[in-house]
């Protein structure tokens, strides 16, 4: 069978007509306007970006799986009784390690601390680990972190669990 340019154009036109005659849910033949509406609906219902809040893992350094591409070491004091590591699950910005000093606790249990910046990174990605060496003493936290997750500033004190000795992040102001 010989296909000429004219028969090829008829074949392609027929394919276009048969594709454009597919009906939508209302039984109407889609127009160019409804085709662009369909494309827009597909874009709007596509999986959204990862908008879940960032989670930072804090572990004693010897327990942390150190598969990071970049290690950042922070020494807070000469006495290195506490060695722990921090790793985010997604990129955060304006990351800081803080020295905390207890100020007061209100009747609702909300604790206030003075905060002194001791280390800063413009951004911290999931390929990074921050290794902190310093001293943690007593039950009142003296080390904290802060970072921006999108436009939201988050600040946490690093505490040790009284149950199993694991490290936890306690949100503070």
CB 86 within 8 A of CB 58: yes
Measured CA to CA, the distance from residue 166 to residue 159 in angstroms comes to 8
Which range scores top for mean pLDDT: 7-16, 32-41, 74-83, 159-168?
159-168
Region at 94 (left for phi over 0; alpha for psi -120 to 50; beta for the rest): left
pLDDT band at 139 (very low <50, low <70, confident <90, very high): confident
State the pTM of this model. 0.69
Cα-based distances in Å from 120 to 16, 69, 155: 59, 18, 14
For the stretch 157-169, pLDDT in tens is 999 998 999 999 9
SS (HEC) of 45-76: HCCCCCCCCCCEEEEEHHHCCCCCCEEEEEEC
CB 94 within 8 A of CB 147: yes
Among 141, 171, 144, 146, which residue's Cα sits nearest to residue 159?
Answer: 141
Question: Helix, strand, coil: what percent of the chain each, to 5?
Answer: 20, 45, 40
Measured CA to CA, the distance from residue 77 to residue 22 in angstroms comes to 71
Cα-based distances in Å from 82 to 31, 59, 60, 168: 67, 11, 8, 14
pLDDT band at 47 (very low <50, low <70, confident <90, very high): very low
At residue 172, the 3 state secondary structure works out as coil
pLDDT, residue 15, reads 42
pLDDT, greater one: 5 or 76: 76
Handedness of CA 24, 27, 29, 33 (dihedral sign): negative
């Amino acid at each position: 069978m010989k296909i000429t340019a004219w028969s090829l154009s008829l074949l392609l036109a027929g394919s276009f007509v048969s594709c454009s005659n597919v009906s939508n849910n209302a039984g109407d033949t889609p127009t160019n306007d409804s085709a662009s509406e369909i494309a827009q609906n597909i874009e709007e219902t596509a999986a959204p970006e990862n908008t879940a809040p960032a989670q930072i893992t804090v572990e004693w350094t010897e327990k942390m799986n150190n598969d990071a591409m970049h290690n950042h070491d922070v020494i807070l004091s000469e006495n290195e009784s506490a060695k722990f590591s921090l790793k985010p699950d997604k990129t955060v910005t304006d990351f800081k390690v803080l020295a905390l000093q207890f100020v007061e606790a209100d009747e609702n249990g909300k604790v206030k601390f003075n905060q002194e910046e001791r280390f800063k990174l413009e951004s911290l990605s999931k390929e990074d680990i921050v290794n902190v060496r310093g001293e943690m003493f007593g039950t009142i936290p003296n080390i904290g972190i802060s970072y921006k997750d999108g436009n939201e500033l988050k600040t946490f004190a690093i505490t040790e669990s009284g149950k199993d000795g694991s490290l936890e992040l306690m949100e503070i102001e």
